[in-house]
Amino acid sequence: MAGYVFYSSSDSKLDEIWQYSEDTHGTRQAEKYMLGLHAYLQNLSENKKIWKKLPKNLTVSDDLDVQLYFNKYEYHFIYFREFPSGKIGIMSILHETMDIPVRLKEDLGKINDGNL
């Protein structure tokens, strides 16, 4: 029952995923993918056994002094952290064909300590 919340950069990625899916595959498939993604995020928040630690050298910024995790839903890598409440904070969602290190650095660079 933990739950999840989005940082603003990952929230905007949801809009991009929706738009691409709808434009490419139609509304029905976009709805199916997004519902599946949200169900997966809920499951992820409740099941720490499937979390994968993101190596510290990939977090890029020394300002991010928290353990980050990742996992994959179909075609997207999900990068997140755990809050003291037990909820997870979705920091970035990146398509598998993107330049992951570059895009992750960009997304994490938008997050400062005040937003952690």
Q: Which domains does the chain have, with CATH numbers?
A: 4-111 (3.30.2310.20)
What pTM did the predictor assign?
A: 0.89
Judged against a pLDDT cut of 70, whether residue 115 lies above it is answered with no
Q: Express as a percent the part of the chain with pLDDT over 90.
A: 71
C-alpha 96/C-alpha 75 separation (Å) is: 6
Dump pLDDT digits (tens) for 93-108.
999 999 998 999 888 8
Question: Tokens 């933990």, residue?
Answer: 2
CA 79 distance to own-chain centroid: 4
Tell which residue, 63, 67, 89, 73, has the closest CA to residue 38.
73
Q: Which residues contact 33 (CB under 8 A, 6 or more apart)?
A: 17, 21, 25, 74
CB 44 within 8 A of CB 78: yes
Q: How far is CA 64 from CA 31, 90, 101, in A?
A: 33, 14, 16
Strand order in the sheet with 4-6: 4-6, 88-95, 76-82, 68-73, 52-53
Work out the mean pLDDT of the chain and round it to a whole number. 90
